Amino acid sequence: MMWQRGILRPPGAASEREFLARCIHCGQCVEVCPHDSLRMRGGWGRARHTPEVLPQKTPCYLCMKCPPVCPSGALRPHVRELKDAGMGFAVILKGKCHNYNGGVMCWTCYDRCPLRGTAVVLRDGFVPAITTTCVGCGICEYVCPVGPEKAIVTLPPGSALPQEGIPLLRVEGAPSAAQVSAVPPAKAVPPSASGEGLMLPASKVGGDV
Amino acid sequence: MNIPVGVLRLRRVVQVLVLAGLCVLPWANAQGWKEVMGNFYALYVGGVPFADPLTAAQNLATGYMPGWKLGVGAGLALALALVLGRVFCGWICPYGLLSELLWHWRGRKQGKLREDWAWKGRTVVTLAGLAGTAWLGLPLLNAISAPGNISLLPLLGQRGWEIVELCAVFVAGLLVLDAGLGTRWWCRYVCPQALLLMLAAWLGSKAWRGRGVAVRWTAARCTCKGETPCAAACSLGLRPLHKDGPPVAHCVQCGDCVTACAARGGALRLGMGNSLEAAPKELGLK
């Protein structure tokens, strides 16, 4: 199954509706990208000649060079920080991820996340989990060793959670304890004392979804 | 101040260099050279943003204020047209080059330009396009931008030729129609990207009473007596023999009429100011 997903835009993109109205197809974001991460869409659709990221070809490495070059404001020029990229979010698919199937422990997504420890954390010290601070760069989807269909899908903002998708851990501003819980809460594994060092810092995570 | 005929003869070189530059730009960018980026929707040149004014107009039509670079870029393009006229069409536009070459290839015959149609044609196209842009919420007129589509092709090609074809089909279709009709009809009557430049050029000619860059005619030097090599040289079908020269809104400052005239009396010149007499030396004439 090819996942039906919306278009993953470059960092700092306005909402899809505003992006489509503003983007003038000048390609400067594509040309400034040092990683060949951005492509112009073809065809005759609404999104013709607008830039997109195809995580399985080349993910976005969040160098943040494109927002300031966009002349039209389709990419908001003031967005400079990785954590503000706002491209979307990644979702781990339970039915495909090694950690949920057959007991193979795999931390590839956690290891390669540019916001490691924030966007991808180790729940209970050993299970990779994606939090709501994920910006949707797609690197985890790119490096995911599961194939041919990846165990992670990167989706633009506002997308519905796919089937089998594990809901994101909610990160609150002022958490009270190292309570890391997945949704639905009934299936959450209670935090264990072991593996403290690998857990998300207490100051960053907390609360229920 | 006049532009020497020798410079006007270099116009084709400029056009070809622009087209060649466009073709290698994405590769140069990929090598890390980012001094020039973009295409004829919006172009960044060594720190200065330029933009097709119609892209800014389309942003406005969708209800969004264009980003400052787009606003400044559009303003710069209009300011250039205000002072220099439609130099973009005559010296820069890659479709203008292809259209001209086709016209030469088809035997250089051109009917007189209907000025009212030239205004009305592209005004209708532009207004319909802006209405569609507002309705659909995307820059519809970009899809029929001849320079825009051509300048996008190299970038699309660099990232994989599989998505190029529909863009190329539009340009190829225009060229086939231009070749069939042989009258440069897109440049003369339809191209919506030229409308705002025409308006700026026209306003400039009014504001400075003919002191901007334009083709000027000095009746005393006109020696052809009934023949009009200048009009025959004009690929847009303008008639330069007028006390004010060809109409500034429709002339693309290519200087072909001046070059043709230089071989005869030298009554036409392209330049600034409204001094009636042109110095022969300045024009590069004997």
Which has the closest alpha carbon to B215: B264, B263, B273, B265?
A: B273
In Å, the largest CA–CA distance within chain B is 59
- By C-alpha distance, the chain A residue nearest B68 is A71
What DSSP character marks residue A81? S
Average pLDDT over residues B32-39: 94
Confidence at A191, pLDDT banded by 50, 70, 90: very low
Q: Which of A49-58, A167-176, B172-181, B277-286 has the lowest mean pLDDT?
A: B277-286
pTM beyond cutoff 0.95:
no
- Is residue B30 within 8 A of residue A34, CB to CB? The reply is no
Q: Which residues of B touch A40 (CB under 8 A)?
A: 152, 155-156, 159, 163
The pLDDT tens digits of the residues spanning A66-96 come to: 999 999 999 999 999 999 999 999 999 999 9
Neighbours of B8 (CB within 10 A): 21
User: B49 and A71: CB-CB below 8 Å?
Assistant: yes
> Span B12-23, mean pLDDT?
95
* Length of chain B counted residue by residue: 286
Chain B interface, mutation test: which of A15, A31, A38, A46, most B Cβ atoms within 10 Å?
Answer: A31
Least CB-CB distance to A72: which of B59, B136, B165?
B59
User: At B126, is the pLDDT very low, low, confident or very high (cuts 50, 70, 90)?
Assistant: very high
Nearest to B34 among A32, A41, A73 (CB): A32
* Residue A87: closest CA among A169, A8, A7: A8
Give the β-pairing of B48-51 and B42-45: antiparallel
Choice between B173 and A8, residue whose per-residue pLDDT is larger = A8
Which of the four pLDDT bands, split at 50, 70 and 90, describes residue A99? very high
pLDDT of B200 above 80: yes
Q: Per-residue pLDDT for A195 more than 50?
A: no
- Per-residue pLDDT, A189: 39
Residues A20-62 pLDDT 10s: 999 999 999 999 999 999 998 877 788 989 999 999 999 999 9
Banded pLDDT at A209 (limits 50, 70, 90): very low
Query: Where is B219: in which H helix or E strand?
Result: none
H or E element at residue B216: strand B214-217
pLDDT at B151: 93
Cβ contact, residue pair B37, A31, below 8 Å: yes
Residue B186 CA, chain-centre distance (Å), reads 12
Q: In this predicted structure, what is the pLDDT of residue A176?
A: 33
pLDDT for res B3:
85
Q: Do A71 and B67 touch (CB under 8 A)?
A: yes
| Cα–Cα distances in angstroms (integers) from residue B116 to residues A111, B23, B128, B184, B205, in the given order | 67, 36, 18, 16, 18
Q: How far is CA A88 from CA A56, A85, A103, B52, in A?
A: 15, 8, 29, 31
Global ipTM: 0.89
**Which of B32, B42, B65 comes nearest A28 by C-beta?**
B42
CA torsion sign for B252, B256, B261, B262 is: positive
- pLDDT, residue A179, reads 31
Q: Is A72–B44 a contact, with Cβ atoms under 8 angstroms apart?
A: no
Q: How far is B53 from chain A (nearest CA, A)?
A: 11
Q: What is the Cα–Cα distance from A101 to A97, expressed in whole angstroms?
A: 6
Across the interface, of B32, B34, B69, the residue whose CB is closest to A71 is B69
User: What is the identity of the amino acid at A97?
Assistant: C
Helix axes B94-105, B11-30, angle to 10 degrees: 140
pLDDT band at B243 (very low <50, low <70, confident <90, very high): confident
Least confident among A43-57, A62-76, B33-47, B189-203: A43-57
Task: List the single residue in A26, A34, A73 with the smallest CB-CB distance to B38.
Answer: A26
Which residue, among B136, B144, B155, would best test binding to A if mutated, counting the most A CBs under 10 Å from its CB?
B155
CA dist., res. A67 & res. A73, Å (int): 8
Collect all residues of chain B within an 8 Å Cβ-Cβ radius of residue A51. none
